[in-house]
């Protein structure tokens, strides 16, 4: 995974993921952060980071990206992973 280096000149938001299992969050991040790179592109953000100490996902991007639902897109992806985890556990 890349080192932590957010673009501080962008807008910032965060999503509380403390209610998601830790193992699921690392699956969302993906091997070497691959899934997060894809999620960053999908949501048209500049940077997405999982802060495992604070149990949040940091979102960095343009005002336009947030206006076009970047935060909701990330929440949707998290929900899909949660559903998959639930199905696999059954």
Secondary structure (DSSP) of the chain: -PPP---TTSEEEEEE-TTS-HHHHHHHH-GGGHHHHHHHHHTT-SEEEEETTTTEEEEEE-HHHHHTTHHHHHHHHHHHHHHHHHHHH-
pLDDT digits (tens, 9 = 90+) for 44-65: 999 999 999 999 999 999 999 9
Q: What is the pLDDT of residue 86?
A: 86
Q: What is the model's pTM?
A: 0.89
Q: What is the CATH number of domain 11-89?
A: 3.30.1370.10
Judge whether residue 87 has pLDDT over 70.
Answer: yes
- Domain residue limits, the chain: 11-89
pLDDT digits (tens, 9 = 90+) for 14-46: 999 999 999 999 999 999 989 999 999 999 999
């Amino acid at each position: 995974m890349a080192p932590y280096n957010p673009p501080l000149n962008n807008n910032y938001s965060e999503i509380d993921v403390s209610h998601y299992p830790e193992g699921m969050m690392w699956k969302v991040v993906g091997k070497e952060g691959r899934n997060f790179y894809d999620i960053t592109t999908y949501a048209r953000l500049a940077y997405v980071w999982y802060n495992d100490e604070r149990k949040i996902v940091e979102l960095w991007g343009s005002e336009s990206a947030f206006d076009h639902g970047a935060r909701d897109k990330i929440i949707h992806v998290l929900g899909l992973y949660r559903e998959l985890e639930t199905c696999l556990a059954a």
